[in-house]
Copies of this chain bind each other. A is one copy, B any other.
Amino acid sequence: MKRPTLEAVAARAGVSRATVSRVVNGSDTVNPDIRTAVLRAVKELGYVPNPAARSLVTQRTGSIGLVVSEPPARVFSDDPFFSQVIRTVCLELETADRQAVLMMPSSPDGQARVERYVAGGHVDGVILLSLHGADPLPAALLRTGVPVVSHGRPVSTARPPYCDADNVGGARAAVQHLLDRGRRRIATISGPPDMSAGLDRLAGYREILSGTGRRSLAAIGDFTRESGAAAMAQLLEDDPGLDAVFAASDLMATGALYALRRAGRRVPDDVAVVGFDDIDAARFTDPPLTTVRQPIAEVARTIVRMVLDGADDTTPVIFPVELIVRDST
């Protein structure tokens, strides 16, 4: 009733353990006849290698850690952007015959767990998602010597290699588009100031506006829909005459649309709205949302490749983004 071992397969095929190991691991220095005999024995016994025994000697596990660092208060992880990244990373890892171990440390205690877990050699590499500035985790993980790659430019002092979309360029394109549409008073709902996606998109916004000599008007959000709605309300209070807003994420943009509706403003007639990400929902809002599309899948795939390659090439990879014009502008 026990699971068959290499030994059992070897006995059945009439060869040694070493040969079975060779066949199972696809070595090409095995006589074809012996190989087929071994494969038959494997099939007959339903042999599956014991991963623990294997990784005990190979020092590798075939798993990659996917760490989503999000404070407990934030429900940011409901952002479809996240699901898409996680899904793509997962699929890409499966292509490479690896598994994703999902970790969502939501407390210092959880972070310590992740650190121990990685230091313990549970995973061959780590992908960091949604890094925040003060997060001590990247530094700790880099110290373990395990390959670490960040999704998005890290803001912390520890700088793992990363891959990101062109956040600054995307924000520039969004704001320029609003200017081209003749908007004069353009506000922004920025992301959290401890995340590069927040900072960079704000920087792009400021850059374009300052080029035209206009004042900037910003309210800070945290990428959630709720914060988008609150920020929009705040902006309307600060400057009732605004006629456009650039939200640093689609989720916040949908919150802004909600707040504008409640305030009785028409979109785009009174206020034009641009988002960022191009999540699925952006096509179904009222009105459909103009937004900056980032190549989520490509970034995710690149990150997987980077971490599987050992994360030794530390030059960042930045993907271009694309403005998708719909009816909200």
What chain B residues lie within 8 Å of A254 (beta carbons)?
281, 284
Given contacts A94-B104, A281-B281, contact A119 B52 (CB under 8 A): no
Chain B residue with minimal CB distance to A83?
A: B83
Q: What distance in Å separates the Cβ of A320 from its nearest Cβ neighbour in chain B?
A: 23
- A157: interface (CB < 8 Å): no
What chain B residues lie within 8 Å of A106 (beta carbons)?
91
- A102 and B77 form a contact (CB under 8 A): no
Given contacts A91-B104, A94-B103, A102-B66, contact A120 B51 (CB under 8 A): yes
- A169: interface (CB < 8 Å): no
**0/1 interface trace, chain A 273-305, chain B, CB 8 Å (1 if under):** 000000111001010000000000000000000
- A3: interface (CB < 8 Å): yes
- A113 and B87 form a contact (CB under 8 A): no
Complex Cα distance A82/B79, Å?
11
- A78: interface (CB < 8 Å): yes
User: Copy number in this complex?
Assistant: 2
Interface of A is mostly: helix
- A121 and B51 form a contact (CB under 8 A): yes
- A132: interface (CB < 8 Å): no
**Residue positions of A touching B, CB distance < 8 A:** 3, 46, 48-53, 55-56, 61, 63, 66, 75, 77-78, 80, 82-84, 86-87, 90-91, 94, 97, 99-106, 110, 113, 116-117, 119-122, 225, 229, 254-255, 257-258, 261, 279-281, 284, 286
Q: Which 8 A-B pairs have the closest CB atoms?
A: A52-B56, A52-B55, A48-B120, A258-B284, A102-B102, A100-B102, A83-B83, A78-B80
